[in-house]
Structure 1
């Protein structure tokens, strides 16, 4: 059966099927893709934050699969090609017009920022549990945004 990218139920089924291919998968309580600052400002930027209780689970699974992440709290440096691959993988989800796709919009924006300034760095941050120790500066910044 062909996956149905056009409905929320179809996207949930795709998320579940992809998650089932990740050994030990446990959905993060929060996650985001961020980018290092362009100026002297020390703060990492997170254009979209998937906070606890959020419903955008498919992007988390897509990122996790791409990065080899299964569970827990972890920060990954993302190459431009890895982020581009995540966008490509998630693109068909835009067929579901009843949902917003804030992760795709944010990730595309970050790709543009990386193209404009290759000295910047992108990060994927997964927070497995809010009680986990802070893993990185990016993790600490993300938690302040929750």
Structure 2
């Protein structure tokens, strides 16, 4: 890939395909999100933005997967502050496509802010490869509860 065009939908799609091609066997997740542990005694994880089934934010998913070494399927991964900063830095050029919303960047920056404000909180990335896959963690269950008509079982 010689020239990266972050300013057009076609360019973003080409970048997504390029990155996806670098992950052997990559399949975009059906749903995914970055979440943060609760700041209170509540057991529910906090997800500033959830990419629900049928969503269109594949570039964000493959950028995050690249940073975390995720190869596909359903999995919950710990996300360090440095990991999330790297993901934000990697995806930030997509803001050149000003006609598109960038909810994952907004959410990731919010999680970074929360981590900086309370270092005892933890961040995770939850990837769901198939809705029929078993729930991979409590964070995964919390995320899936945001889907309509889904009752996850741990």
Q: 2:42: which partner in 1?
A: 41
In the aligned structure 1, how far is the partner of 2:42 from the partner of 2:126? Answer: 20
For the pair 1:130 / 2:131, whether they are aligned, the reply is yes
- Shift in Å, 1:8: 1.1
Partners of 1:51 and 1:9 in 2: how far apart? Answer: 22
Aligned to 2:89: 88
What is the count of residue pairs matched by the alignment? 146
Distance in 1 separating the partners of 2:100 and 2:41:
36
Q: TM-score, normalization: structure 2?
A: 0.93
Distance in 1 (CA, whole Å) between partners of 2:131 and 2:6 is: 31
Q: TM-score, with normalisation over the residues of structure 1?
A: 0.98
**How far does residue 40 in structure 1 lie from its aligned partner after superposition?**
1.4
* Unmatched runs of 5 consecutive residues or more in structure 2: 148-154
User: Does the 8 Å contact 1:8/1:98 carry over to 2?
Assistant: no
The answer for the alignment partner of 2:151 in structure 1 is none
State the alpha-carbon separation in 2 of the partners of residues 44 and 118 from structure 1: 16
Which position in structure 1 is the counterpart of 2:7?
6
Q: Deviations along 1:68-123, whole A, 9 cap, x unmatched?
A: 11111000010000000000000100000110000000000000000000000000
Query: 1:16 matched to which residue of 2?
Result: 17
RMSD, aligned α-carbons: 0.6
Whose relative contact order is higher, 1 or 2, with alpha carbons under 8 Å and at least 6 apart?
1
What is the distance in 1 between the residues matched to 2:104 and 2:132?
Answer: 25
Deviations 1:33-84 (A, max 9, x none): 0000011121100000001111111010011111111111000010000000
